């Protein structure tokens, strides 16, 4: 549709050296909620995720598994694709960096940088952490008990000495600082923005952007001894998916610069420093915004393979339910902060906020429509102040939610939605339709209609977070599928007084402890 607002957002592409874990599920979940929200809000959305398949780490993992890297990456990449379907993510495309079109895009970016004089040949000698696929300066490292050099991330470093092409990153200090200054929303949350600015102010070395000691990567144009540094290759995925460097690439014209690259805090520097420098160096526009979220711990412990406490997203979904997990991950911590996954806190939220607050509101309201009105949605009479108030609250809420979503404050969006849930529960208690049933059936009908209308709004608002539960709720109210986007907020037309409703069933069951006693 011409003139439609567009929104392009991306997840990091995930290394295929390992099975997907909660960290991967979390980053993509946040993007999924955002993508669904924007679609409901009338945007033409392009939501990209995928896998990062080159580099030493993946090459080593393939060797350890005894299979050739291409077959290895085919298998592991498929696990990520399967997880995305399992989690009900609504990505528009899944990219793999071993695709031909991606080598072409990476080489075109390289060539543009070279033509603009930003790449030169020299020798790299310094420290490299394969786990992070990152170079480190001596003064960033500490010494482990066995004398090994350790990066700030905890990854072991090895000494590398080989011919390498360099990108002239040291010349980008001023342009980057100017760019951050002119685009105050480029890095979020603000604490992360300050970190990046002080890193750049501290001065930067030129960046080694090719390797010669292994071969699993994209070839450097016109120099077959070199492959590109995996981060230069990986970052390019964001424009490969838009058909860069095709002439007249429609997707690129439509969606670049990206509205948001969502990343974890550990990979912010690559996205907020290197990536805009590469793009500006190639004469392309930097993305509009990078959001760095926090990390999860498990019952208070850092998650690590050696501790054996890695959280498998499939397992928690099987235990608690998909929408319950989606809700918990975005409700439990202010988005951007670190958070702790614990059995006690997820059960608490499921039982108090989902089952009690929202689930009960819908169940008791719709059961009364069943019991008192024969399952027919009543036609309302004149509205009184409390009715107008709750309906006004429901209608106005979209503005608050939109503001929070645009700031990636998912927890705040859910908080204000639950403000309406609480107001609606207070409204039922105050209006006491069971009492009205005996005394004033006409007023009872109005109250039940107002409740149904409030629940319709709640169903619409929770769709991005809990798509299947929201659909169940809207089905209970017989809201047509084509009347569930944000254009239908506040319009009463979607609820038809006189419509016959199906018998309500609880949308959010309580979590019973016995369900997991075996597992713990
Ligand atoms: N391949 C790079 C990204 C390239 S993007 C051009 C990469 N891949 S990764 O597989 O390691 O990605 C991990 C993602 O999961 C990162 O966003 C990271 O922050 C996130 N998490 C990894 N462990 C995590 C937690 N324990 N908690 C939350 N997120 C974490 O980096």
Taking a C-beta distance cutoff of 8 angstroms, is the pair 207, 274 a contact?
yes
pLDDT, position 98:
97
User: Six-digit token pair at 456?
Assistant: 């319709």
Q: What is the mean pLDDT of residues 262-291?
A: 98
Taking a C-beta distance cutoff of 8 angstroms, is the pair 13, 49 a contact?
yes
* Percent of all residues in the chain with a pLDDT value above 90, rounded to a whole number: 92
* Side-chain half-sphere CA neighbours of 66 within 13 A: 0
pTM of the model: 0.95
Taking a C-beta distance cutoff of 8 angstroms, is the pair 163, 125 a contact?
no
Q: Does residue 410 surpass a pLDDT of 50? A: yes
How far does residue 20's CA lie from ligand 1's centre (Å)? 10
How far does residue 517's CA lie from ligand 1's centre (Å)? 31
pLDDT, position 186:
98
Residue 274 CA to residue 267 CA, distance in Å, equals: 11
Taking a C-beta distance cutoff of 8 angstroms, is the pair 394, 454 a contact?
yes
CA nearest 261: which of 273, 250, 246?
Answer: 273
Q: Does residue 485 surpass a pLDDT of 70? A: yes
Q: What is the mean pLDDT of residues 265-284?
A: 98
Find out whether the peptide bond into 257 is cis, omega within 30 degrees of 0. Answer: yes
Q: Does residue 516 surpass a pLDDT of 60? A: no
Helices (H), 222-274: 230-235, 237-240, 250-255, 268-269
CA nearest 377: which of 330, 288, 446?
Answer: 446
How far does residue 26's CA lie from ligand 1's centre (Å)? 9
Q: What is the mean pLDDT of residues 241-258?
A: 96
User: Six-digit token pair at 357?
Assistant: 């607050």
User: Six-digit token pair at 133?
Assistant: 């696929």
* Ligand 1 pocket: which of 217, 264, 292, 342 to mutate (most atoms within 8 A of CB): 264
Q: What is the mean pLDDT of residues 50-63?
A: 94
* Ligand 1 pocket: which of 13, 266, 273, 298 to mutate (most atoms within 8 A of CB): 266
How far does residue 14's CA lie from ligand 1's centre (Å)? 7
Taking a C-beta distance cutoff of 8 angstroms, is the pair 218, 227 a contact?
yes
Q: 154-160: long-range contacts at Cβ-Cβ below 8 A with a sequence spacing of 24 or more? A: 155/129, 155/130, 155/131, 156/129, 156/130, 156/131, 157/127, 157/128, 157/129, 158/127, 158/128, 158/129, 158/130, 159/125, 159/126, 159/127, 159/128, 160/124, 160/125, 160/126, 160/127, 160/128, 160/135, 160/213
Pocket (CB within 6 angstroms of ligand 1):
12-15, 23-24, 26-27, 52, 234-235, 237, 263-264, 266-267, 295-296, 303
- Shortest-distance Cα residue to atom 7 of ligand 1: 14
- Shortest-distance Cα residue to atom 24 of ligand 1: 23
The string of pLDDT tens digits covering residues 429-461 is: 999 999 999 999 999 999 999 999 999 999 999
- Shortest-distance Cα residue to atom 30 of ligand 1: 23
Residues near 21 by Cβ (< 8 Å), separated by ≥ 6? Answer: 303, 310, 311, 312, 313
pLDDT, position 121:
97
Residues near 403 by Cβ (< 8 Å), separated by ≥ 6? Answer: none
pLDDT, position 493:
63
495 pLDDT tier (thresholds 50, 70, 90) = confident
Taking a C-beta distance cutoff of 8 angstroms, is the pair 61, 71 a contact?
no
CB atoms within 10 A of CB 178: 10
- Shortest-distance Cα residue to atom 5 of ligand 1: 12
Identify the weakest region by mean pLDDT among 16-20, 71-75, 198-202, 476-480. Answer: 16-20
How far does residue 333's CA lie from ligand 1's centre (Å)? 18
pLDDT, position 519:
47
State the closest ligand 1 atom to the C-alpha of 266, by its place in the atom list counted from 1.
19
* Ligand 1 pocket: which of 15, 16, 24, 59 to mutate (most atoms within 8 A of CB): 24
Residues in the chain: 520
State the closest ligand 1 atom to the C-alpha of 12, by its place in the atom list counted from 1.
5
Q: Using alpha carbons, list the distances in angstroms from residue 339 to 296, 329, 331, 414.
A: 5, 9, 10, 16
* Percent of all residues in the chain with a pLDDT value above 70, rounded to a whole number: 98
Mean pLDDT of the chain: 95
* Ligand 1 pocket: which of 23, 87, 260, 342 to mutate (most atoms within 8 A of CB): 23
pLDDT, position 518:
47
Q: Does residue 258 surpass a pLDDT of 90? A: yes
- Shortest-distance Cα residue to atom 22 of ligand 1: 23
Phi, psi of 49 (to 5 degrees): -140, 180
CA 263 to chain centre: 8
Residue 95 CA to residue 81 CA, distance in Å, equals: 10
Identify the weakest region by mean pLDDT among 43-57, 195-209, 303-317, 322-336. Answer: 303-317
pLDDT, position 304:
84
The string of pLDDT tens digits covering residues 352-407 is: 999 999 999 999 999 999 999 999 999 999 999 999 999 999 999 999 999 999 99
State the closest ligand 1 atom to the C-alpha of 14, by its place in the atom list counted from 1.
10
pLDDT, position 492:
61
- Beta strand pairing status for 134-136 and 149-150? unpaired
Q: Does residue 520 surpass a pLDDT of 50? A: no
- Shortest-distance Cα residue to atom 8 of ligand 1: 14
pLDDT, position 470:
98
How far does residue 25's CA lie from ligand 1's centre (Å)? 10
Q: Using alpha carbons, list the distances in angstroms from residue 335 to 263, 296, 513.
A: 12, 11, 28
How far does residue 267's CA lie from ligand 1's centre (Å)? 7
Q: Does residue 494 surpass a pLDDT of 70? A: no
Q: Does residue 270 surpass a pLDDT of 60? A: yes
CB atoms within 10 A of CB 308: 7
State the closest ligand 1 atom to the C-alpha of 238, by its place in the atom list counted from 1.
6
CA 384 to chain centre: 42
Taking a C-beta distance cutoff of 8 angstroms, is the pair 244, 108 a contact?
yes
Q: Does residue 113 surpass a pLDDT of 90? A: yes
């Amino acid at each position: 549709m011409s003139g439609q607002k567009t929104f392009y957002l991306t997840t990091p592409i995930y290394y295929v050296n390992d099975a997907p874990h909660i960290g991967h599920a979390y980053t993509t979940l946040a993007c999924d909620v955002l993508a669904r929200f924007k679609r409901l809000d009338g945007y033409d959305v392009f939501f990209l995720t995928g896998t990062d398949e080159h580099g030493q780490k993946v090459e080593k993992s393939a060797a350890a598994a005894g299979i050739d890297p291409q077959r290895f990456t085919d298998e592991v990449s498929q696990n990520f694709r399967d997880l995305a379907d399992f989690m009900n993510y609504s990505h528009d495309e899944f990219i793999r960096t071993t695709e031909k079109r991606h080598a072409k895009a990476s080489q075109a970016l390289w060539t543009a940088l070279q033509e603009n004089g930003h790449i030169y040949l020299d020798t790299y000698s310094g420290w490299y952490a394969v786990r992070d696929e990152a170079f480190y300066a001596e003064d960033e490292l500490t010494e482990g008990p066995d004398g090994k050099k350790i990066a700030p991330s905890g990854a072991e470093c090895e000494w590398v000495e080989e011919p390498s092409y360099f990108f002239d990153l040291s010349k980008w200090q001023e342009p980057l600082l100017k760019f951050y200054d002119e685009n105050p929303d480029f890095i979020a949350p603000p604490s992360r923005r300050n970190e990046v600015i002080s890193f750049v102010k501290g001065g930067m070395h030129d960046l080694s952007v090719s390797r010669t000691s292994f071969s699993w990567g994209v070839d450097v144009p016109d120099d077959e001894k070199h492959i590109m540094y995996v981060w230069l290759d990986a970052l390019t995925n964001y424009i490969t998916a838009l058909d860069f460097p095709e002439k007249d690439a429609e997707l690129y014209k439509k969606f670049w610069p990206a509205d948001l690259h969502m990343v974890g805090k550990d990979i912010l520097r690559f996205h907020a420093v290197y990536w805009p420098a590469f793009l500006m160096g190639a004469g392309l526009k930097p993305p509009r915004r990078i959001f760095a979220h926090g990390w999860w711990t498990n019952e208070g412990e850092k998650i690590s393979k050696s501790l054996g406490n890695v959280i498998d997203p499939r397992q928690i979904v099987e235990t608690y339910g998909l929408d319950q997990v989606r809700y918990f991950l975005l409700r439990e911590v202010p988005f951007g902060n670190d958070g702790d996954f614990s059995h006690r806190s997820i059960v608490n939220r499921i039982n108090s906020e989902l089952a009690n607050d929202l689930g009960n509101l819908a169940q008791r309201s719709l059961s009364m429509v069943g019991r008192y009105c024969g399952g027919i949605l009543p036609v309302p009479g004149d509205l009184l102040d409390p009715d107008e108030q709750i309906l006004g609250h429901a209608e106005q809420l979209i503005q608050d939610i939109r503001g929070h979503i645009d700031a990636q404050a998912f927890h705040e969006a859910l908080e204000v939605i639950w403000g309406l849930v609480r107001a609606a529960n207070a409204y039922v208690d105050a209006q006491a339709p069971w009492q009205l049933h005996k005394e004033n059936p006409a007023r009872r009908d109005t109250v039940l209609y107002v409740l149904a209308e409030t629940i319709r709004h709640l169903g619409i608002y929770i769709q991005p977070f809990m798509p299947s539960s929201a659909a169940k709720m809207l089905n209970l109210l017989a809201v047509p599928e084509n009347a569930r986007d944000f254009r239908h907020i506040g319009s009463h037309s979607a609820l038809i007084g006189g419509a016959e409703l199906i018998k309500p069933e609880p949308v959010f069951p309580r979590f019973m402890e016995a369900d997991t006693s075996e597992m713990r």
